[in-house]
Amino acid sequence: MIALLQSLRIRGGIHVNEHKQATAGLPIDDSFPLPKRLYIPLQQHVGKPAEPVVRVGDTVFKGQLLAHSQGLISAPVHAPSSGTVADIAEYPAPHPSALPIRTVFLDTDGTDTVQSGESATDPFTLEPEEISLRVASAGVVGLGGATFPSAVKLNLGRQNKIHTLLINGGECEPYLTCDDRLMQENAAEIVDGIRIMLHGMETGRAMVGIEDNKPEALKAMRTAANFHPNIEICKIPTRYPMGWDRQLIRYLTGREVPAGGRATDVGVLMHNVATAYAIHQAIRYGRPLIDRVVTVAGGAVANPKNVRVPIGTLISEVLVFCGADKTRTGRWVMGGPMMGEALPFADVPVVKATSGVLALTGSEVKQGEEQPCIRCARCISVCPAGLLPVDMANRIRNNRLEAAVDIGLKDCISCGSCSYVCPSNIPLVHYFKFAAGELAARQQAKHKSEQTSKLIDERNKRMERIEKQKAEELAQARAAKEQSEKADTTI
């Protein structure tokens, strides 16, 4: 009966070709050679970029603070290895635009000399607020892809009296297995990180959702959580995009996050399993987030694997390490093929959000020629957000973006399910991404125009005040002069 109720909670979604078998059975490779130079972007998280605290020529240790957070929604950046700050300058971002962002260039010295960090032998003797402070100072962000500062979410959980911490171990994207391997090899550390998060949020219960195509991870996590009855390890169906927070919340708790609302509105907060591991490392050993496990796969990769690499390593170096053939690569992707970022070139750095690096062959990315819509409604049936993809696309084609917003454009998560099943090969998700970008640009232009108008109005009012003041001063001067002349005449 419970299984039936849960199956009814799954909205839309698709079964994709997983392509996970090449890496899921191999242990994490820790033998990646330290690069001679690391490129560490100061914007690796949601919010304001970090501000450098080092200067060109400074010698730094592994784990040392390179840039501090700015404001509440931000995260610091630390040195992934020891060496010398060679420059602080613009460098292409790991993004389809490859627009340059402020970056610290670190020439490593090969010694990997570590700066000892703050640690706690027993995290559960710390105040919950102290847990959040240490997580913030370690630069931990959401490693499921959102990169929202984790300390902010811990504080939100405490302030909103969250009753359930949800841990996403779904990893529903094709090719990606870094979370799977982390659960298989570091289940005890992940469970410890979950317990620390519960303590920091003052929440009594956690649920971990793991897709049923990861039996070894399920077994390892259940063994690790065996003596912690407040942590429930749950098997969930293998269906993309089960890793979406609203889908997972709906399936595991039966609660529906309202449109335009947040998970906290239904008493739930979600983190990723890799985030739990990073929090364990930060609190137990004082280790900041300076490396991560990355899945390297795709048809052009000779030795696909999960490899632990320092943040700031060029993706091109990671691909060379795994034997990628550049001549066979049709597309470089950071993340998964469904929601990841297609890169114009591979000489961009691994960042905190880099869960995967894919070198896909032409046959893997080939899409048929776009044909007219046949109104089959497959896109509607698979949309996890319950939207009308074909109707939104028609409005966008006709430049009726606001009309597309009216039927749910802003609720689209760009999962690509609609494009995947479309028999006419219509790139629906491309329309939605274009529209979202165009709306954001229009909003920025409107805001700029409003700000400009406001500045002009303020200037005009200021000039009016100045002119009025000058006129008053002139009138007073004339009156004084006339009074003086009158007095002279009387004498």
The binding site for [4Fe-4S] cluster consists of 373, 376, 379, 383, 412, 415, 418, 422
CA angle 254, 256, 259 (to 5 degrees): 170
Rounded to an integer, what distance in angstroms lies between the CA atom of residue 236 and that of residue 386?
Answer: 20
Helix (H, G, I), strand (E, B), or coil: what is residue 75? coil
Helices assigned H by DSSP within 107-261: 128-137, 150-159, 178-185, 187-201, 215-224, 245-253
Q: Which of 76, 86, 77, 93 is nearest to 108 (CA)?
A: 86
Rounded to an integer, what distance in angstroms lies between the CA atom of residue 326 and that of residue 299?
Answer: 11
Helix (H, G, I), strand (E, B), or coil: what is residue 382? helix
Mention every residue, 6+ apart, whose C-beta is less than 8 A from residue 284: 119, 120, 123, 192
Rounded to an integer, what distance in angstroms lies between the CA atom of residue 304 and that of residue 24?
Answer: 10
Binding residues, as ranges, are 373, 376, 379, 383, 412, 415, 418, 422
DSSP string, 431-471: HHHHHHHHHHHHHHHHHHHHHHHHHHHHHHHHHHHHHHHHH
Scanning the structure block, which residue is given the tokens 């519960």?
Answer: 198
Can you say whether the dihedral through the CA atoms of 108, 111, 115, 117 is positive or negative?
positive
Rounded to an integer, what distance in angstroms lies between the CA atom of residue 119 and that of residue 345?
Answer: 39
Q: Which of 285, 231, 284 is nearest to 122 (CA)?
A: 284
Q: Is 115 exposed, middle or buried (CB count within 10 Å of its CB: 0-12, 13-18, 19+)?
A: middle
Rounded to an integer, what distance in angstroms lies between the CA atom of residue 101 and that of residue 313?
Answer: 16
Helices assigned H by DSSP within 138-202: 150-159, 178-185, 187-201
